[in-house]
Each structure stands twice: as structure tokens, then as C-alpha cells.
Amino acid sequence: MNNKKNIFQQILSKKIITNIIYQDDLVTAFNDIKPQSPIHILIIPNIFIQTLNNINHKHELILGRMLLVASKIAKKKKIHKSGYRIVINCNVHGCQTIFYLHMHLLGGRQGVNIFF
């Protein structure tokens, strides 16, 4: 187990205290420690999955739940109408720094269009 993976595992095991804003049987959500927008929340599976490369059909429920929870949190934070961005970074070219699968929920201000 490396340190980067440890950070999110320690959050789940409450060894690192953070503001957990949502948790159910499959996923946990908490505020990003270094927010890149006014709302920046991370949604992670409760079981360790290293990257998006490591998912299989057994993870379908978890992956679906991550999106569902992102949508629910966006509504709760009242950013659903203005809009928001969901990001999953994978490995080095994807800028993944914590090797524990996580989904970023970013909102609260106009994002930069990275595709044009």
C-alpha cells in the first residue's frame, strides 16, 4: 500500500479527520483539501480500486452510485442549474495523483473549456 492510496483509506477509516459530507454502503464523499472551484467534492468507492483501469463488471453498482451521488450532491449544493463538471483522472497523462479511484465534482463558477 502506498502513501497516496493511504490518504483516502485513512479518511475512510477516520484516521484522517475530514468533512465527510455523504456516505452510504458503497461510496463516500468529502471536500477536496485544495479546492479548484467554490464547490470541489471528491466521491470515492468504499472499497479500494486503484484507477479506472482496474474496474470490471462487478463494480458497475459502485460506479453508478458515484454518479448518482454526484447528481444528488449537486442538487443539495444548488449548483445543478448553473452546472458543474465531473472528472475522473487516470494515471499520469490523466493527471491522477492519488491512486485510489475518485470522482471530482466541481462547480460554483464558470469552468474553463479544455476542449477548444
Confirm if 105 and 40 have CB atoms less than 8 A apart.
Answer: yes
The one among 9, 16, 68, 108 contacting ligand AMP by CB under 6 A: 16
114 counts as binding ligand AMP under rule CB under 6 A: no
The one among 26, 67, 86, 98 contacting ligand AMP by CB under 6 A: 98
Q: Are strands 20-23 and 27-31 parallel, antiparallel or unpaired?
A: antiparallel
Confirm if 102 and 18 have CB atoms less than 8 A apart.
Answer: no
User: Which parts of 5-82 are beta strand (E)?
Assistant: 20-23, 27-31, 39-45
What is the Cα–Cα distance from 2 to 9, expressed in whole angstroms? 11
Active-site residue list:
102
32 counts as binding ligand AMP under rule CB under 6 A: yes
Interface characters, 54-93, with ligand AMP (x: CB under 6 A): -----------------------------------x----
Among 26-34, 44-52, 60-68, 74-82, which window interacts with ligand AMP (CB under 6 A)? 26-34
Confirm if 97 and 57 have CB atoms less than 8 A apart.
Answer: no
Interaction site with ligand AMP (CB under 6 A): 7, 16, 18, 32-34, 42, 89, 95-98
